[in-house]
Structure 1
Amino acid sequence: MKEGQTLLTEKQEKFEELREKLLAGGGERAVARQHERGKMTARERVYALLDDRSFVETGLFVKHRSTEFEMDKKDAPGDGVITGYGTINGRLVYISAQDFTVIGGSLGEEHAAKIARTQEAALKVGAPMIAINDSGGARIQEGVDALAGYGRIFFNNTQASGVIPQISVIMGPCAGGAVYSPALMDYVFMVDNTSEMFITGPKVVQAVTGEEVSSQDLGGAMTHNSISGVAHYRATNEEDCFSQIRTLLSYLPQNNMERPDALPCDEDPDAKRLELNTVIPEDPAKPYNMLDVITAIADRGEFFQYQEYYATNMLTGYIRLNGEVVAVIANQPRVMAGCLDINASDKAARFVRTCDAFNIPLLTLVDVPGYLPGTQQEYGGIIRHGAKLLYAYSEATVPKVTLITRKAYGGAYIGMCSKHLGGDIVFAWPGAEIAVMGADGAANIIFSKAIRNADDPEKERTAKIKEYEDKMMNPYIAAARGYVDDIILPEDTRQRLISSFDSLKGKRVLTVSKKHGNIPL
């Protein structure tokens, strides 16, 4: 018995030695270089993001089986990726974190298999999947096996789409084919100065096109948050990034079969918001900040924005109303007068579809003078891109409440979740203007002959504009037709919105049976 115990102890010691070696990743020198770049190691990131002592690792002992190009002589602990599960604020999540200290975090056959198995486990139990990317790309020595691994990950991304929240975290290089997994996921986070994401790097760009561009300008955090729209959140450092991820998850359910958790709210749901009575300027041409409206109605004035730096003429993000999570889509009059353009339509449509997939009610705040005119928009396909927003709203089956604060003109009025696209409850403030177009343009068309033949055309034009404004530029005609359910005082907005979403909690929609729709991509 003693010999058996001694033998077992020897095996345990061997196990502990091997385990410690694997936990060390690429070794002290590689870890030091990672820290010099201002980056945590993969293991440090996992521990920093998850609840203390909650991480359970899977696949620690996985090894690659490549022998070509002296790969059989290369030691790769965990094959360069850490996988497993743990909790964030007590909620189960699955996680993968590429380890740049091990062969540059390059993706090979077994590396990919570990990520894919983690994705499949997350999908099986209905828990969010978080993928931390920090990799030099495909492991060239493994050839097509590496490419096959990417394909399996992309396939799993697609299978999990709309079923579990998928969060991609770019914390280093992410280039070539590797970029398509983040692109297929629901939310992409990037960190200033250390995140890089592009199909082809600066050297290839220069060789092919002659352009000289830095890695950060080509594919850094601000580039993808403000210009391309590929990323959704930007962080100043890795700790800030993890804090934002934890905040995002607090607004999301575990999967598409659940609703987001409600939180206790100590604010009076019937309290008036008097500041809203003066938020709209008397001059209809003068802009105001729609953020003032959002923070006035939200619990504790908190608004967690989505794509804050992209298409800033459209605001998107999450609030709570009396403790319940609500997604906000709102025109921003301070930017391009709140016009809908290509980027704003894409941003809002993607957000609407994401929220609908995860049972998050939609609140649409409308102040839109129309679609942005110009050859750049027409050549860029504003018709097709604008149609995405119409499709997304029409397809959504979650509760949909709309508030028209000021302008709602033409096709843009329809597109911002009007009654005609399935808006469940539509409110308007007394000063709302719901019309085909602005009074100036309408008067020029309707009264063109009278203005042209008048003794004083300018005076006649002014009179006709006033006549059109008095007759058409108000919410009462739409309310008379049932297109607006009620006209409310701004100060009552929060109370009415809370009541509306409460009444819609039991909403059920019977949809037409089909394989899938054909959204105008």
Structure 2
Amino acid sequence: DIFYMNVMASGVVPQVAAIMGPCAGGAVYSPALMDFVIMVRRTSFLFITGPRVVRAAIGEIVDEFQLGGADVHATRSGQADFVAEDDREAVDIIKRLLSYLPSNNMEDPPVVRTSDPPDRPVPELDEVVPDDPNAPYDMYKVVEGVLDLGTFLEVKAQWARNAITGFGRLSGRVVCVVANQPNYLAGVLDIDSSDKIAEHVRFCDAFNVPILTFVDVPGYMPGTKQEHGGIIRHGAKVLYAYSEATVPKLTVIVRKAYGGAYIAMGSRHLGADFVVAWPTAEVAVMSPEGAAEIIWRRELEAVKDPQERAKLLAKFTEEYRSKFANPYVAASRGYVDAVIQPRDTRRVLAKALDMLSTKREVRVWVPPKKHGLMPV
């Protein structure tokens, strides 16, 4: 009956599980069906079959924490959303998490007064993105610079670190944060990060939390490991989650926005209500260098000297970037509402969020159905 009630409550009330000790066997499915799991380091573990059964069945020797400890589920399986050092910290995490959430799906998230002005300029954002389009930087600086000071609460911080998910406040209003992290795997979308983003977006949509997305994505992770692991199916979850969401959707294109990964990350094509881009944004079907190699292939092949070919490729790459990949082209086609200076991002988003706070989307054009079928 517990599992059934977990499912019946899903999307109706937020469900949070605190694992403070052993949780094994069939009991693990109750927290697995909940929205958030907090595990306590050094005292909690979560697994279906314990070490003795594992050893008897397949001869593998592990202890409880190697098999299903807090660090394992926080970094490897993605089952743990938060890790606490002790029970008291676990309770504190739950209290903070619940402060961002409504009591049920019929309510809006709580709005609080803030001393952080919504029109506060953030000049340090002007220097965040490097001049080299391939150089990494820390997206946390962007997220924390835009949100109300000290309000960002990250979810699944140690798992799929090429994506950032969490909650924060903007002008006192709760927002769901989704971002690519160029500091880790260049911010690409892979199997785990796709699952992480899709799960967070669907939760926030279920509980009326506006979605704020920061985009710097070069594409999907290539290679046989990802393809054989089902990157197509997992990547489709992100597209489904954003398309399904009816809450206000605001998107900031910080730098790279390439191909299908750009579309998946809360783009106008998936129903984003408000999209802005920084001057550093590159919106294109692929990277400028990749496009230049295809468009000017014959010219490049005609040059035999490797150094001269590299110089010519750099020239063609810059030509493609300036003509086709800049944000003003995207704005002229309606994919972007405005190109803004980074320092103005907080002010612009706060104003847009206030404008969208009464949004109610009823999709009367969608044929009646029992429920959609998200790729799983």
Structure 1 counterpart of 2:372: 517
Structure 2 counterpart of 1:480: 332
Q: Are 1:349 and 2:198 counterparts?
A: yes
3-state SS in 2 of match to 1:301: coil
Structure 2 counterpart of 1:338: 187
CA distance in 1 between counterparts of 2:20 and 2:109 reads 27
Q: Are 1:265 and 2:114 counterparts?
A: yes
Structure 1 residue 409, shift from structure 2 partner: 0.6
Native 8 Å contact 1:316 1:327 kept in 2: yes
Q: Are 1:311 and 2:166 counterparts?
A: no
Question: Which of these residues, 234, 238, 244, is aligned with residue 93 of structure 2?
Answer: 244
CA distance in 1 between counterparts of 2:105 and 2:37 reads 19
Structure 2 counterpart of 1:495: 347
Q: Which amino acid aligns with 1:379?
A: H
Structure 1 residue 462, shift from structure 2 partner: 2.6
Q: Which amino acid aligns with 1:406?
A: R
1:318-349 CA-partner distances (Å, limit 9, x unpaired): 11111110010000000000000000000010
Structure 2 counterpart of 1:48: none
Q: Which amino acid aligns with 2:245?
A: A
Structure 1 counterpart of 2:234: 385
Structure 1 residue 300, shift from structure 2 partner: 1.5
Closer, same or farther: CA 166–476 of 1 in aligned 2, 3 Å: same
Structure 1 residue 298, shift from structure 2 partner: 1.3
Residues 20-31 of structure 1 aligned to structure 2 (within 5 Å): none
Native 8 Å contact 1:256 1:357 kept in 2: yes
Tell which has more relative contact order, 1 or 2 (C-alpha 8 A, sep 6+). Answer: 2
3-state SS in 2 of match to 1:299: coil
TM-score, normalised via structure 2 length: 0.97
3-state SS in 2 of match to 1:502: helix
CA distance in 1 between counterparts of 2:15 and 2:314 reads 55
Structure 2 counterpart of 1:64: none
3-state SS in 2 of match to 1:444: helix
Residues 392-471 of structure 1 aligned to structure 2 (within 5 Å): 392-454=241-303, 456-471=308-323
Higher alpha-carbon Rg: 1
CA distance in 2 between counterparts of 1:459 and 1:336 reads 27
Question: Which of these residues, 156, 160, 165, is aligned with residue 14 of structure 2?
Answer: 165
CA distance in 1 between counterparts of 2:226 and 2:19 reads 31
CA distance in 1 between counterparts of 2:18 and 2:355 reads 37
Q: Are 1:365 and 2:217 counterparts?
A: no
Q: Are 1:195 and 2:40 counterparts?
A: no
Q: Which amino acid aligns with 1:211?
A: E
Question: How many residues matched?
Answer: 370
Structure 2 counterpart of 1:302: 151
CA distance in 1 between counterparts of 2:150 and 2:93 reads 17
1:230-271 CA-partner distances (Å, limit 9, x unpaired): 111110111110000000000000000001111111122112
TM-score, normalised via structure 1 length: 0.70
For structure 1, the residue ranges without an aligned partner over 5 or more in a row are: 1-151
Q: Which amino acid aligns with 2:344?
A: D
CA distance in 1 between counterparts of 2:16 and 2:311 reads 59
Q: Identity across aligned pairs (percent)?
A: 55
Native 8 Å contact 1:294 1:301 kept in 2: no
Native 8 Å contact 1:164 1:256 kept in 2: yes
Which deviates more, 470-479 or 313-322?
470-479
CA distance in 2 between counterparts of 1:215 and 1:459 reads 57
1:161-197 CA-partner distances (Å, limit 9, x unpaired): 0000111111111111101111111111100011111
CA distance in 1 between counterparts of 2:143 and 2:318 reads 32
1:404-431 CA-partner distances (Å, limit 9, x unpaired): 0011011100000000000000000011
Native 8 Å contact 1:263 1:324 kept in 2: yes
Residues 8-407 of structure 1 aligned to structure 2 (within 5 Å): 152-407=1-256
CA distance in 2 between counterparts of 1:400 and 1:507 reads 10
Closer, same or farther: CA 218–400 of 1 in aligned 2, 3 Å: same
Which ranges of 4 or more aligned residues in structure 1 deviate by more than 6 Å? none
3-state SS in 1 of match to 2:189: coil
For structure 2, the residue ranges without an aligned partner over 5 or more in a row are: none
CA distance in 2 between counterparts of 1:238 and 1:454 reads 66
Structure 1 residue 155, shift from structure 2 partner: 0.5
Q: Which amino acid aligns with 2:317?
A: I
Q: Which amino acid aligns with 2:318?
A: K
Structure 1 residue 158, shift from structure 2 partner: 0.5
Q: Which amino acid aligns with 1:239?
A: R
Q: Which amino acid aligns with 1:477?
A: V
Structure 1 residue 454, shift from structure 2 partner: 3.6
